[in-house]
Structure 1
Amino acid sequence: MLQITDIDSYYGASHILHGVGLEAGKGELVGILGRNGTGKTTLLRTIMGMTTRATGSLKLNGQELIGEPTNKRAFAGFGYVPQGRQIIPDFTIRENILMGRFAAKDGRKDIPEIVYEIFPYLIENLDRPGGVLSGGQQQQLAIARALATEPSVLLLDEPTEGIQPNIVEQIEKTIIRLNKELGLTILLVEQNIRFVRAAATRFVMMENGRSVATGATADLTEALISKHMTI
């Protein structure tokens, strides 16, 4: 479904990713791991066409997207939840969610049923400004906005970072549900090894802008974690 081959990516003259590759089949959840500053966020931004330049191959369902702008990639099926959520605080919950509808394949402008089902709190407070929500509620809103694009691949950049503990479990359960029950393919950047082991089918370990280890989640050993994630 998703094939990334020999990707190099740049911010200006800075060469960040070096020959990165990964694959994700339909309905898989792939955990992307590594220390801070190893290129995990840049990988997701590269997939979305948000770096200065990238070379290599990025195919979704056989369609080559490496030279396409961000909006074309969203239309092709990528939904993106960036690190820090990046909701618009002065927009209402409703307006933030509907921003994602620009990429909906059926052209509809209503809130999708999946948001009603998974995020009842947001639905009950559609006219509240996004900026008054807690960090965990804003993360839920960012996921709802991405789901409004009707993605076939959801990109999540550290979705539990900086979230109050009682909401972290809710967000983790939501991600697992989106993957296991609804069959959504997910690329998950995450530092929480416990969550990756519970949720992911496969993993990619990154170091210095390169993918240095890949495999089934069962192959994510303590030795590998110690080598590439211990500070």
Structure 2
Amino acid sequence: MLALSHVDSFYDRSHILHDVSLDVPDGQVTAVLGRNGTGKTTLLKTLMGLTDRMDGQIRLGDQEIGREPTFRRARAGIAYVPQGREIIPDFTIRENILMGSFARADGKREIPPLVAELFPYLMNNLDRNGGVLSGGQQQQLAIARALAANPRIILLDEPNEGIQPSIVEEIEQVIIRLNREIGLTVILVEQNVSFARNAAHRFAMMEKGRIVAAGEISELTDAMVHRHMAV
């Protein structure tokens, strides 16, 4: 479904991604792994058109999107849940979710029934401000906002970071369910190798802005993890 070919990406004069090529199969979870500072977040931002400059190609199906603005990529079906969630604290839960619907290609402005099914707490508290929610609840809200865009692909940047342990497993199960039951294609940036092995079909290991290994998740060995992720 999604393919990067010889992609270089920049912030001003800083060259972050180097000759990145990656295929993301339709209907699968692809885990992007690596130490902090290796370019994982920049990879997701490059897919969304949020870096200063990009060379190379990004294709979504038959469409070349590497030169499209961010809003067109969103309307083409890519939703992004950023690291830190970036919800608007003074907006209500309802308003935060509905923000995602502005990326819908069909123009509908609604909270999807799936959000009510996955996150009943949010639906029971739609008039609460997002800023008063816990970290785990804000992550639920960020995922709900992404789902309101009716995406084909969802990009998740370390979705369990800074979340209380009691909600981590719940978030993980939601991500697996979105893929296995709903059929969403997922690109998951993750430090938790055990979760990646449980959730993902494929992996890509990053080091210094390059993909140094990729393949089926069964090919992700402990030796590879130690070499590229151990501190």
TM-score range, shorter chain: over 0.9
- Secondary structure of 1:203's counterpart equals strand
Structure 1 match to 2:21: 21
Which structure 2 residues correspond to residues 14-163 of structure 1 after superposition, within 5 A? 14-163=14-163
Counterpart CA distance in 2 for 1:197 and 1:211 is 18
Counterpart CA distance in 1 for 2:88 and 2:221 is 40
What is the CA deviation profile of residues 151-191 of structure 1, one whole-angstrom value per residue up to 9, with x for unaligned ones? 10100000000100000000000000000111100000000
Counterpart CA distance in 2 for 1:223 and 1:164 is 29
Counterpart CA distance in 1 for 2:21 and 2:122 is 36
Q: How far is the alpha carbon of 1:117 from its aligned partner? A: 1.1
Q: How far is the alpha carbon of 1:26 from its aligned partner? A: 1.3
Counterpart CA distance in 2 for 1:28 and 1:82 is 20
Counterpart CA distance in 2 for 1:62 and 1:188 is 23
- State the TM-score, normalized to the length of structure 2: 0.99
**More displaced stretch, 59-68 vs 89-98:** 59-68
Q: How far is the alpha carbon of 1:196 from its aligned partner? A: 0.2
Counterpart CA distance in 2 for 1:110 and 1:45 is 26
Counterpart CA distance in 2 for 1:93 and 1:21 is 37
Q: How far is the alpha carbon of 1:109 from its aligned partner? A: 0.8
What is the CA deviation profile of residues 97-130 of structure 1, one whole-angstrom value per residue up to 9, with x for unaligned ones? 0000111122111111111111111000000000
1:217 aligns with 2:217: yes
Structure 1 residue ranges, 4+ long, deviating more than 2 angstroms after superposition: none
Counterpart CA distance in 1 for 2:153 and 2:5 is 17
Counterpart CA distance in 2 for 1:188 and 1:155 is 6
Cα root mean square deviation, aligned: 0.5
Counterpart CA distance in 2 for 1:23 and 1:85 is 26
Structure 2 match to 1:199: 199
Letter in 2 for 1:192: N
Q: How far is the alpha carbon of 1:48 from its aligned partner? A: 0.2
What is the CA deviation profile of residues 58-117 of structure 1, one whole-angstrom value per residue up to 9, with x for unaligned ones? 011110011111001001110000000000000000000000011112211111111111
Paired residues, number: 231
Counterpart CA distance in 2 for 1:79 and 1:95 is 17
Structure 1 match to 2:10: 10
Q: Percent identity?
A: 63
- Secondary structure of 2:88's counterpart equals coil
Letter in 1 for 2:224: L
Letter in 2 for 1:15: H
- Secondary structure of 1:174's counterpart equals helix
Letter in 2 for 1:228: H
Q: How far is the alpha carbon of 1:25 from its aligned partner? A: 1.4
Counterpart CA distance in 1 for 2:192 and 2:108 is 36
Counterpart CA distance in 2 for 1:121 and 1:66 is 37
Letter in 1 for 2:93: I
